[in-house]
Chain A
């Protein structure tokens, strides 16, 4: 690892972060809300997969909302379309697999292009625009959720993003 390279990536990331307006509270972690004991209440929205280039790799994006007072974690994803689905986080210019992603209490976990995403490897077939891919999301506490993820064009960008 080149220290110089990392340093510059960090600078860029830091600036990006400060620009994206979480001004004020820097408390993104440990939001296991004091007092509130309602269970995590998860729902999934805005799921899509951009039509991949080949059948060897694809990405998936979605938002998991948590209306409950307890945080949860997305731990794994399974699907008929690929045996190997992993959860990735993007830091700077590279991405790496993570064991779990937190869904904060009364908050949301956003998987979006350029950020955290699901990575599908060695797909059984190449998903085409207009199809749907069925996924099962597994969590630490909540019951698994099944998602029908629509396949969009390779250049699809969800509206309402910034």
Chain B
């Protein structure tokens, strides 16, 4: 199928982008981005990567923390939306990423009007749906920001949705002690309220300050 191949290409491209960006963030100063056509105008100092070729919003219909069906495309249509894939039994990167977003939102709320922020959607999709039931997810997100949308559901569906955004997640496995080992995504993706396309990527090292600086632009679908 044609569309499938195309999506795969995007995914591979995004991974490359992420890797190359990480390189430049480590300050080697080696300009080796020639093979990557999707990055536009981002220096090493910027957390955001603006994609020339935005991602289509994944067609995900999952379950929210109230146990209700949530159609991602429908619910977030025309709304500035930031999506992250992770799991709650994750001590480090997942809570840090979501806390960074939540704190940045809170800081931005001091400067903008309520109306300007009203449409912002922060979405956390679990990569460990077996443990992250709607109730577990709700409890965890309440500890960060109760307005964050938490989604769970069929793992294969979540994995396929993530893949269209260039995020590959393996299913949870058990280690030799019987403990579940899950994977989280490494990027936050921002979708424009104007086009509904995923046009900006943030890596794991994006800080509260990065998001705080960029959110006012992301709210309008502008390039950070």
Q: Of B171, B205, B207, B208, which contacts A114 at CB under 8 A?
A: B205
Q: A1-B173, A2-B170, A94-B183 are in contact. Are A18 and B91 (CB under 8 A)?
A: no
Q: A93-B183, A94-B183 are in contact. Are A113 and B169 (CB under 8 A)?
A: no
Say whether B170 contacts A94, CB under 8 Å: yes
In the bound complex, residues from chain B placing their C-beta under 8 Å from that of A52 are: 91, 95
- Which of chain A's residues has its CB closest to B95's CB? A53
Main secondary structure on A side of the interface with B? mixed
> Which residues in chain A, 1-25, are within 8 Å of chain B measured between CB atoms?
1-2, 4-6, 8-9, 11-12, 15-16, 18-21
Q: Does A143 contact B (CB under 8 A)?
A: no
Say whether B26 contacts A1, CB under 8 Å: no
In the bound complex, residues from chain B placing their C-beta under 8 Å from that of A56 are: 89
Q: A5-B170, A114-B204 are in contact. Are A21 and B91 (CB under 8 A)?
A: no
Q: Of B28, B91, B184, which contacts A119 at CB under 8 A?
A: B91
Q: Does A125 contact B (CB under 8 A)?
A: no
In the bound complex, residues from chain A placing their C-beta under 8 Å from that of B144 are: 53, 154
Total cross-chain contacts (CB, 8 A): 109
- Residues of A whose CB lies within 8 Å of any CB of B are 1-2, 4-6, 8-9, 11-12, 15-16, 18-21, 50, 52-54, 56-59, 90, 92-97, 113-114, 117, 119-120, 154-155, 157, 162
Name 23 interchain pairs, CB-CB below 8 A, sorted by A: A5-B169, A9-B168, A12-B15, A12-B18, A12-B19, A15-B22, A16-B19, A16-B23, A19-B24, A19-B26, A20-B26, A50-B99, A52-B91, A53-B88, A53-B144, A54-B140, A58-B91, A93-B186, A94-B184, A114-B92, A154-B103, A155-B99, A157-B207
